[in-house]
Amino acid sequence: MFWLPILIFFKTQGKPVKIFIMPIYKQPSDFITNCKISNNRLLTLMLTVAISSLLSACSKEDRYDQQLISVKGNFNPISYLQKGNLIYLNGESYTKTTNFIGIPVLLTEKSKVADTIVATVDPSLIAEYNTQHGEQNPVFPEGAFGLSNNGRFPLAAGETQSKDSLFVTLKNGTGLKGQAVYLIPVRLASKNKGKILNEVLYFKMLLSSGNLTAFVDGASTGNGVFGGRIPGGSLSLVYFDYYPDSLKFNVGLNTALPDHDVIVEGTLLSETQLDSVKNAQYFFASPLPGGYATLSKSLSIIPKGQIAGQDSLVVRLSNKAQLERNQYYLLGIKLKHYRASKYGVPPVPGDSSVCYVRFFLY
């Protein structure tokens, strides 16, 4: 048996890589014969192994968070994906940063004195990034995006990492487009000339947009009560031999408004409206006569940052003894756009802003 080691050197990522190829021949003469006959095949084998090893070596990049988009270009530009919402209410837009990852602010060595790393949004780097990456990230209005901790990241002497992490915040949606991605370059600088690990970080903000709307989310429950959503989205509840003094109706929002409380208004359906509903939905029930139900609380306040009301719409019921027995009665409540405040929320399009209640009295 005859072994002939062949050694190949090349570099990847600035580091030398060695590859040994070990063709095996029973006799030295076999190697000579093979060299004469199969030089091309041997060369092909050598190149195949070399390329495979090169690709394997090149794939051993450092692993970043799953939010990482790319690691390319100058200044070690690391791009992190965040999400934000543009929320429209009564002709005005509001912003909400819905998803982010805090990036540590790091020095390459311990700070000799107390230091502060200052982070600023630098839109001038967008064009360079686009050129390097073959992308077309749009520019954005000044003040559209801000930074966590007001862009200030203090470090105590002897530390290499700030206690506060860096991420981008969505501040002003004016001039921004929903369903778009914006590149936000962030430049870092040390007040005391500390050596920063990454002087430039790139974030990408994926924006979604939509109108703030409200819907009926539930109602009072008790023994013998059942129901759910019916085709079209309305909430339908049935109460067997249950006629309480009052019913509470909960309201919800399709998304939260971060900085302001909002108001949702309800109203009772008229007998005429209930009669149409009865026929359309095949409800075997009689509309509850006027005077038997009143809306004693027509407004619900939903606190800022929440999607559910802190209180409920309340319907008072009365005169039970005067109702005929052994039949169903129907009442309904729907949401309407409260216009006495710019924070009044309109109902969601469709029937999810309506709730029907049927009573069966034995």
Q: How far apart are CA 76 and CA 294, in angstroms?
A: 66
Torsion angle of alpha carbons 323, 325, 327, 329, nearest 10°? Answer: 20
Selection from 74, 83, 162, 166 nearest residue 119 by Cα: 166
Low-confidence spans in the chain with pLDDT less than 70: 1-78, 222-224, 241
Any idea which residue has 């195949």 for tokens?
A: 48
Q: Are 214 and 353 in contact (CB under 8 A)?
A: yes
| CA-based radius of gyration for the chain | 34
Q: How far apart are CA 204 and CA 187, in angstroms?
A: 14
pLDDT at 307: 95
**Helix pair 28-37, 39-58: axis angle to 10 deg:** 90
Q: Are 43 and 54 in contact (CB under 8 A)?
A: no
pLDDT at 306: 95
Q: How far apart are CA 248 and CA 250, in angstroms?
A: 7
pLDDT at 14: 43
Pairing mode, strands 313-317 and 293-297: antiparallel
Selection from 148, 158, 43 nearest residue 111 by Cα: 158
Pairing mode, strands 200-211 and 78-89: parallel
Residue 52 contacts by C-beta under 8 Å, 6 or more apart in sequence? none
pLDDT at 241: 67
What is the C-alpha end-to-end distance of the chain, expressed in Å?
Answer: 101
In CATH, the number for domain 214-361 is 2.60.40.1740
CATH class of 68-211: mainly beta
pLDDT at 54: 40
Q: How far apart are CA 201 and CA 73, in angstroms?
A: 11
pLDDT at 236: 92
